[in-house]
Structure 1
Amino acid sequence: MPRLPSLLLKSALLNTPDIEVWPADLLRARSNAHARLLSRASHVLRRKRDGAFLTAATADGLHPLMPTAAREPGSDAARHALAARPVHLRNGVEHVGVLPLHRLHERLDSLGLDADGYAARTGLDRVAEPGWLAFAGFDRYRRALWLRIDAARAWLRLRDAALRDGIVLEAISGYRSHDYQLGIFERKRAHGMTIDAILQVNAAPGFSEHHSGLALDLGAPGEPPAEESFEATPAFAWLQANAGTHGFAMSYPRDNPHGIVYEPWHWRFSPA
């Protein structure tokens, strides 16, 4: 089995329904007080809903980064995940596990959507989040890129194979939680988009392939992200010719049955 580079073996995102446990060295401090704690921390408990830092884990214990951290919903599950580490990234995907479809109906109700009706109308499956994800480097914006471990290995092979052929592939985004997907809808709705319009470009929370840690949005240097113009790039031509060899396929071609616009940038890894 191909091995991840040694740097990547050091980092995993430990996932729980409400809170993610991040390696502290992949996070930027948001205040001087946070900077001092993060410099000593191994991990940070981070709320999925808005990315707020809740608790820093150091050699001498847990330190709250906000006054209500101890009462935060899901804190017990996150602390349990932290106590149960380390994750052995050399393990196969059978050791990943998935989270329950936590609060799916609550999220969809807030958007005026019915889970069963949406699934029947679009043909999209409910998608659970992995129990942990592997660090697969950084995306175009220098954000940590998280993927399921088999997809992380496949992405690194795909990227390196393209580079050998003179093609630079940039990751735009990888794993996204249900809560993050809900935030996309809320932000777009705040800018005046209707739910129906958003659903043409984003799957509903709980139904996006990004939740699985198997999907990537890809781009090329100088190209705008998530635009149909990506289709005209050498990077896209290379993907069409070679991505299948590495287990990746484009999820949303033209006239796909899911009601989602053509997305030449969205590719999903399918385990053999």
Structure 2
Amino acid sequence: MHTPPVPLKTRLLNTPEVELWPGGLLRARSNADARILARARRVLRRKLDGRYLAAELPEGLMPLIPGLPREAGIEAALDRLDHEGGGRGPWRGEAGELPLDALLDHLHALGLDDRYGERTGLPLVAEPDTLAFAGFDRYRRALWLTLATARAWQSLGDAAARDGVVLEAISGYRSHAYQLGIFERKRARGQTVDQILAVNAAPGYSEHHSGRALDIGAPGEPPAEESFEDTPAFAWLMANAGAFGFTLSYPRDNPHGIVYEPWHWCYTADVTDDAD
């Protein structure tokens, strides 16, 4: 079912290497985790592999790994935590963007340079420094989007439900580190970079990094399959999604050379992430 309305002031504070999650949204991986996460105001999570680094508890910061001060990116994350007061107050103003320096280093290591963007027509996409909680996806994972996109997604799903159509979020925001992980796992299985690029955008060039893209599915349908185009959900989206600011990014024979993705929709309305 479509996720019911949620308090959009709940947000993810994003830094280049560490995410600062609100307490209560991460899955416990052990009994010790469960006790800590139940009390945490914020959890600092490494983007590269999802490791929990520290928890902000009522009595102070509790490290969850040895050598926390030496962790890459931890200073920027702690500065953000101090500056935002944990991000518990109202969200005022627009989200900014994170720098691209580290990503460019990774792209060069993969042998990708500006010519990739020129060849595909895909822009390099920065990550937002703040994302809104938009409910949960099909797999009960927290769904993160820009504030404007989250509001539009709620409105889209509510309108579909009134017409008897159920839309499911398969995934939303993905970090550069997540996309790099896809590349590294496929390369480890013997695929070349060119083979991977036939089905995956290069890290930094996926619309999912922007927090404005959604993979959408329907109950009982496999995720991210071309068969989604045969569902009532897809027919409804083609007829109505534009009115809510969403566009099908990769239709058949798209100029970017990306395979047809009837499930991938991006919020492209000319609006800003307003204050909550």
Q: Residue 208 in 1 paired to residue 206 in 2?
A: yes
What's 1:51 paired with? 50
- Whether the aligned pair in 2 keeps the contact of 1:43 and 1:58 (CA below 8 Å) is yes
Q: CA deviation at 1:187?
A: 1.8
Q: Residue 15 in 1 paired to residue 25 in 2?
A: no
- Whether the aligned pair in 1 keeps the contact of 2:133 and 2:150 (CA below 8 Å) is yes
Q: CA deviation at 1:150?
A: 0.2
Residue 187 of structure 2 aligns with an amino acid whose one-letter code is R
What's 2:268 paired with? 270
Which of 173, 193, 196 aligns to 2:194? It is 196
- Whether the aligned pair in 1 keeps the contact of 2:248 and 2:265 (CA below 8 Å) is yes
Equivalent-residue separation in structure 2 for 1:139 and 1:9 (angstroms): 15
What secondary structure is seen at the aligned counterpart in 1 of 2:13? strand
What's 1:73 paired with? 72
Query: Which structure 1 segments of 5+ residues have no match?
Result: none
Q: CA deviation at 1:69?
A: 1.9
Which of 222, 232, 254 aligns to 2:252? It is 254
Equivalent-residue separation in structure 2 for 1:263 and 1:186 (angstroms): 23
Query: Which structure 2 segments of 5+ residues have no match?
Result: 271-276
Q: CA deviation at 1:159?
A: 0.7
Residue 111 of structure 2 aligns with an amino acid whose one-letter code is G
What secondary structure is seen at the aligned counterpart in 1 of 2:54? strand
Q: CA deviation at 1:71?
A: 1.1
What's 2:23 paired with? 24
Q: CA deviation at 1:84?
A: 2.1
Equivalent-residue separation in structure 1 for 2:60 and 2:264 (angstroms): 41
Q: Residue 235 in 1 paired to residue 265 in 2?
A: no
Deviation string for 1:3-29 (max 9, x for gaps)? x94x42352100001100001200112
Greater shift in the superposed pair: 100-109 or 225-234: 100-109
| RMSD value, Cα | 1.6
- Whether the aligned pair in 2 keeps the contact of 1:209 and 1:215 (CA below 8 Å) is yes
Aligned length in residues: 265
Equivalent-residue separation in structure 2 for 1:149 and 1:237 (angstroms): 26
Q: CA deviation at 1:90?
A: 5.5
TM-score, with length taken from structure 2: 0.92
Which has the higher relative contact order, 1 or 2, with Cα contacts under 8 A spaced 6 or more apart? Answer: 2
What's 1:146 paired with? 144
Equivalent-residue separation in structure 2 for 1:47 and 1:127 (angstroms): 20
- Whether the aligned pair in 1 keeps the contact of 2:9 and 2:91 (CA below 8 Å) is no
- Whether the aligned pair in 2 keeps the contact of 1:8 and 1:137 (CA below 8 Å) is no
Equivalent-residue separation in structure 2 for 1:157 and 1:19 (angstroms): 31
Runs ≥4 residues deviating over 6 A: none
What secondary structure is seen at the aligned counterpart in 2 of 1:186? helix
Identity across the alignment (%) = 66
Equivalent-residue separation in structure 1 for 2:229 and 2:68 (angstroms): 45
